[in-house]
C-alpha cells in the first residue's frame, strides 16, 4: 500500500550553546540522526541541511523552521558525506524526489554504490527516463553493489523502457486526467461509491474529530461546490480509519495503527442505523487472520464477494489480493481464496472489480510498469480464471504511485473513473478523475464460400443493428473483406447478395467488449446457387399425368411425376410454380374450360397433401385454347395431336 507521509509540523529540541563549527556539526548530526531513527524525516532533513551548509546556532533554543544561523567553517568531510546520504534518504522517504536527486548524485559521483542506485531511482521518479536508464546501467557496472539492488535495477530498466514507450504513444490525447475538486491539504485517496455519492479517505486537518492528531485518516463524502464532509463514523483516537466499500446498508472499511513502526490493519463492517452508523465489528479470521494485516476491502456489485489485500500466510508475495464469499447477511463465509493468477512476489493491493466488463483492477509494484505502484487490469471471473494482468498504461499510470481505481460507469472501466496518485505532490496521494474519450469502433468482416472457404469478392453487404438502423452498406473487396464503424459494439444482422450465390441473412456476433477499439468478426459464408432445374416462365409438360376419362380425378400412375416436382420445390424453398391443364377440342368450350380448371386444382391438392404450401402454386385451366398440335389435319381427326393437347404443364414463376 502506498505510504501516506505526513510532515512533522514542529520540532522540540534543545541544543547546548555551540561555540565552534566542528562541535556544532557534531551536535546537528546527532540530533538529525535521532529524528531519522524515529522516522521523523522532515525534521531530520532540516538538520542534515544544517550540517551540509556549515551553519551554527545562534540561540540555545533551536527551531529548524527559523533562519537564525551564522556562517561557520566547513564541516568534517566524513561527517558531511554521511549527512549527504542521510539527507538524500530523508527526502526520498518523504517522496520529495526532486530534493533528493542532487544529494544522491553527489554521493554517487563520489563512488557510493547505494547512492548510485537511489540516484537512478530519483531520476526515474522525476520523469527523467533516459537519464535514469544511464544511471541504472552505471550502477550495475559498479563493484560492491548490493545483489538485491542489482536485481531491482534490472527490473527498473524494464520499467524505464516501458515508461519511455508509454510516454511516446500517439493516442494520449484520448485520455483525460484531472485533479478532483475535493483535494485539500493532506492526503485524499481511495474513492468509493456510496449510492451514487463519492466517498474517499483523507488526512485533511480536523481538530474537532481528533484533538490529539487533527491529521488522522477519516472518511469523507463529496458535497456541493467541491466541498467535503465526514460521513459520520465515530472518532477513534487510537486508530486511523478509511478505504471503504459499500453494499446495501453496510460499509466495509479499514482501521489501522502503527505498532513498533509497522502498520497493523484490519477490515471492519458497520451497518447504517437511521441517520448514522452503528458500531463497527471486525470481520472474522478468514479476513483478519492472526498476525496478518488486512485492508482495502471491495464488495462486488452483487454482494457475493469481498476482495481485499493482505499479507496473511499462503500468499504469493508481500501483500496479495484475496477473495472471500459473503453470505446473505454480508458476512464472510468459508476460507479466503488467493487470486494467484494476478498476485506477484511484490505488493498487490487496492482491488476493484467491474462486473459488466468482468475486469479486475488493482495496483502492484511487482510487475513491469511506469515506476512505483502501477494500475493493472485482469479480465475474467473472480472464481474462474483471471487472465494475465495488463498495465493500464500512461497517463493513468505515472512514474510515481498510482493506486485505488474506481469507475462509476456501469458499462466501462474507462469512463467516469477516479484513482489516486502522488504524481503532483511531494507529500501525499491526491484524487484524480479519469475518462478515455470514446472513438468509433472498427468492425471488419469477410465473406467466404461455404464449401471451399475461398473469399468471395463483390458481395453486396447490408448490416443493420437490433433496432433496424442500417449501419453499413457496401461490397466486399477482391479479398472478400469489408469494414465499417459503429459507436459501440453490438450484434448486427447482415443481408448478403452476390451473383452466382444464394442470398443469405446472417448475424454478426460482435463481442460487446469496451476494452477493444477494433473487432474482427468470424467469416460469413454463403453457398453457391444450385443449378436451376427449369428456366423461369418456360412451360414444361408433365408426361404420364393421366385422369379418368372426362373427369378431373388424378390417377395414381401420375404421382411419380409430381413427386419429382415436389423434390425440386423442397430443394428451392423460394420456388413458385404455375400448374396448368389443357384439353383437346372434343366437347364444348365451356365444358373443356371447366374440366381443365378442375384437373389443375386436382394437381394442386396432391402437391399440398405432400406439404407444399398452396401459396407457392397457381392453378390454371386453359381448356382447348392453347393446343400444341392440330386436333385435325385437312378435316381429318388427328389422334396423336389430340393426345398431346390433353396435357398438364408447369412453369416456374420465380425462385
DSSP calls for 368-414: SSSSSSEEEEEES-SSSPPPPPEE--TTTS-SS-EEEEEE--SS-SS
pLDDT for the residue 575? 92
The residue ranking higher by pLDDT, 546 or 194, is 194
Q: Is the CATH number 2.60.40.10 carried by domain 441-526?
A: yes
pLDDT for the residue 211? 61
| Residue 238 near residue 259, CB atoms below 8 Å | no
Q: What is the pLDDT of residues 416-434, one digit of tens each?
A: 999 999 998 767 899 999 9
- CATH topology assigned to domain 173-436: Tachylectin-2; Chain A (2.115.10)
| 141: pLDDT strictly greater than 70 | yes
Q: For 69-123, what is the HEC assignment?
A: EEECCCCCHHHHHHHHHHHHHHHHHCCCHHHHHHHHHHHHHCCCHHHHHHHHHHH
DSSP calls for 181-192: TT--SS-EEEEE
Q: How far is CA 544 from CA 143, 203, 644, in A?
A: 106, 100, 11
pLDDT for the residue 56? 47
A 10 A CB-CB count for 563 gives 12
A 10 A CB-CB count for 9 gives 11
pLDDT for the residue 498? 95
**Pairwise CA distance, residues 114 & 171, whole Å:** 38
Cβ-defined contacts of 625-629 (< 8 Å, 24+) = 625/593, 626/582, 627/582, 627/584, 627/585
Residue 617 C-alpha cell reads as 402454386
**By C-alpha distance, which of 441, 477, 470 is closest to 456?**
477
Q: What φ, ψ does residue 490 adopt, rounded to 5°?
A: -145, 150
pLDDT for the residue 7? 34
pLDDT for the residue 134? 96
pLDDT tier at 237, thresholds 50, 70, 90: confident
**By C-alpha distance, which of 126, 125, 131, 133 is closest to 161?**
133
pTM: 0.69
DSSP at 226 = G
Task: State the Cα angle at 280 between 274 and 281, rounded to 5°.
Answer: 130
pLDDT for the residue 301? 95
| Strand order across the 305-310 sheet | 294-299, 305-310, 320-326, 332-338
The H or E element containing residue 148 is: helix 147-167
**Pairwise CA distance, residues 363 & 348, whole Å:** 6
pLDDT tier at 132, thresholds 50, 70, 90: very high
For residue 395, say if its preceding peptide bond is cis, omega within 30 degrees of 0: yes
Superfamily of domain 540-654: OmpA-like domain (3.30.1330.60)
- Of 191-195, 331-335, 445-449, 549-553, the one with minimum mean pLDDT is 549-553
**Pairwise CA distance, residues 528 & 61, whole Å:** 99
* Exposure string for 100-136, b = 16+ CB within 10 A, e = fewer: bbebbbbbbeeebbbbbbbbbbbbbbbbbbebbbebb
The H or E element containing residue 431 is: strand 430-436
| Residue 561 near residue 491, CB atoms below 8 Å | no
DSSP calls for 558-611: GHHHHHHHHHHHHHSTT-EEEEEEE--SSS-HHHHHHHHHHHHHHHHHHHHHTT
The residue ranking higher by pLDDT, 353 or 487, is 353
Q: What percent of the chain has pLDDT over 70?
A: 91
**Pairwise CA distance, residues 156 & 370, whole Å:** 9
| Residue 579 near residue 648, CB atoms below 8 Å | yes
**Pairwise CA distance, residues 133 & 131, whole Å:** 5
pLDDT for the residue 95? 81
The residue ranking higher by pLDDT, 208 or 218, is 218
A 10 A CB-CB count for 213 gives 14
DSSP at 140 = H
| 2: pLDDT strictly greater than 50 | no
Q: Residue range 444-466: average pLDDT?
A: 95
**Pairwise CA distance, residues 543 & 242, whole Å:** 92
Sequence ranges of the domains in the chain: 8-95, 173-436, 441-526, 540-654
Residues near 555 by Cβ (< 8 Å), separated by ≥ 6? 546, 547, 548
pLDDT for the residue 73? 39
pLDDT for the residue 114? 92
The residue ranking higher by pLDDT, 260 or 534, is 534
Q: Residue range 29-54: average pLDDT?
A: 86
| 343: pLDDT strictly greater than 80 | yes
DSSP at 536 = B
Q: Residue range 628-644: average pLDDT?
A: 91
| 8: pLDDT strictly greater than 60 | no
| Residue 361 near residue 417, CB atoms below 8 Å | no
**Partners of 654 in the β-ladder:** 576
pLDDT tier at 38, thresholds 50, 70, 90: confident
Amino acid at each position: 500500500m502506498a505510504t501516506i507521509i505526513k510532515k512533522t509540523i514542529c520540532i522540540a529540541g534543545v541544543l547546548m550553546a555551540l561555540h565552534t563549527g566542528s562541535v556544532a556539526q557534531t551536535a546537528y548530526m546527532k540530533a538529525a540522526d535521532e529524528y531519522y531513527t524515529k522516522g521523523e524525516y522532515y525534521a531530520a532533513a532540516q538538520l542534515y541541511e544544517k550540517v551540509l551548509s556549515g551553519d551554527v546556532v545562534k540561540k540555545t533554543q533551536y527551531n529548524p523552521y527559523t533562519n537564525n544561523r551564522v556562517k561557520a567553517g566547513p564541516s568534517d568531510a566524513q561527517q558531511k558525506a554521511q549527512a549527504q546520504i542521510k539527507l538524500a534518504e530523508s527526502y526520498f522517504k518523504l517522496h520529495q524526489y526532486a530534493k533528493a536527486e542532487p544529494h544522491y548524485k553527489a554521493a554517487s559521483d563520489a563512488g557510493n554504490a547505494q547512492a548510485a542506485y537511489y540516484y537512478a531511482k530519483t531520476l526515474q521518479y522525476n520523469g527523467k527516463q533516459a537519464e535514469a536508464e544511464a544511471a541504472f546501467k552505471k550502477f550495475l557496472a559498479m563493484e560492491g553493489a548490493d545483489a538485491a539492488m542489482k536485481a531491482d535495477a534490472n527490473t527498473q530498466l524494464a520499467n524505464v523502457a516501458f515508461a519511455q514507450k508509454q510516454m511516446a504513444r500517439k493516442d494520449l490525447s484520448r485520455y483525460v486526467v484531472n485533479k478532483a475538486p475535493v483535494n485539500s491539504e493532506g492526503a485524499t485517496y481511495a474513492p468509493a461509491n456510496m449510492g451514487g455519492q463519492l466517498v474517499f479517505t483523507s488526512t485533511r486537518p480536523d481538530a474537532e474529530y481528533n484533538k490529539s492528531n487533527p491529521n488522522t485518516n477519516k472518511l469523507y463524502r463529496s458535497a456541493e461546490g467541491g466541498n467535503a464532509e465526514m460521513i459520520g463514523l465515530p472518532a477513534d483516537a487510537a486508530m486511523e480509519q478509511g478505504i471503504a466499500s459499500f453494499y446495501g446498508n453496510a460499509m466495509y472499511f479499514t482501521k489501522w495503527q502503527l505498532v513498533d513502526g509497522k502498520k497493523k490493519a484490519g477490515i471492519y463492517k458497520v451497518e447504517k442505523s437511521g441517520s448514522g452508523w452503528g458500531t463497527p465489528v471486525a470481520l472474522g479470521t478468514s479476513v483478519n487472520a492472526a498476525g496478518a494485516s488486512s485492508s482495502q476491502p471491495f464488495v462486488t456489485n452483487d454482494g457475493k464477494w469481498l476482495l481485499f489485500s493482505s499479507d496473511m500466510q499462503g500468499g504469493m508475495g508481500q501483500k496479495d489480493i484475496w477473495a472471500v464469499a459473503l453470505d446473505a447477511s454480508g458476512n464472510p463465509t468459508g476460507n479466503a481464496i488467493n487470486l494467484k493468477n494476478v498476485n506477484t512476489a511484490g505488493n498487490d493491493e487496492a482491488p476493484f472489480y467491474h462486473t459488466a466488463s468482468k475486469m479486475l483492477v488493482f495496483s502492484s509494484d511487482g510487475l513491469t510498469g511506469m515506476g512505483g505502484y502501477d494500475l493493472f487490469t485482469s479480465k475474467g471471473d473472480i472464481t474462474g480464471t483471471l487472465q494475465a494482468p495488463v498495465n493500464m498504461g500512461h497517463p493513468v499510470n505515472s512514474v510515481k504511485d498510482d493506486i485505488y481505481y474506481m469507475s462509476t460507469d456501469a458499462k466501462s472501466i474507462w469512463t467516469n473513473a477516479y484513482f489516486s496518485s502522488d504524481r503532483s505532490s511531494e507529500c501525499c496521494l491526491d484524487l484524480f478523475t479519469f475518462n478515455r474519450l470514446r472513438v468509433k469502433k472498427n468492425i471488419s468482416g469477410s465473406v467466404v464460400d461455404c464449401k471451399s472457404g475461398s473469399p468471395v469478392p463483390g458481395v453486396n453487404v447490408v448490416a443493420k443493428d437490433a433496432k433496424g438502423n442500417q449501419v453499413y452498406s457496401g461490397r466486399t473487396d477482391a479479398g472478400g473483406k469489408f469494414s465499417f464503424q459503429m459507436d459501440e459494439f453490438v450484434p448486427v444482422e447482415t443481408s448478403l447478395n452476390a451473383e452466382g450465390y444464394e442470398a443469405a441473412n446472417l448475424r454478426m456476433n460482435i463481442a460487446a467488449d469496451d476494452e477493444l477499439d477494433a473487432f474482427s468478426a468470424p467469416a460469413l459464408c454463403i453457398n453457391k446457387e444450385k443449378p436451376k432445374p427449369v428456366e423461369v416462365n418456360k412451360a414444361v409438360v408433365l408426361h404420364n399425368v393421366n385422369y379418368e376419362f372426362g373427369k378431373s380425378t388424378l390417377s395414381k400412375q401420375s404421382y411419380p411425376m409430381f413427386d419429382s416436382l415436389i423434390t425440386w420445390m423442397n430443394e428451392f424453398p423460394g420456388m413458385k410454380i404455375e400448374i396448368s391443364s389443357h384439353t383437346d377440342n372434343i366437347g364444348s368450350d365451356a365444358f373443356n374450360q371447366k374440366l381443365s380448371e378442375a384437373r389443375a386444382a386436382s394437381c394442386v391438392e396432391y402437391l399440398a397433401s405432400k406439404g407444399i404450401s398452396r401459396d407457392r402454386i397457381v392453378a390454371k385451366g386453359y381448356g382447348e385454347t392453347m393446343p400444341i398440335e392440330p386436333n385435325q389435319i385437312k378435316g381429318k381427326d388427328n389422334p396423336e395431336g389430340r393426345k398431346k393437347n390433353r396435357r398438364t404443364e408447369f412453369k416456374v414463376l420465380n425462385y
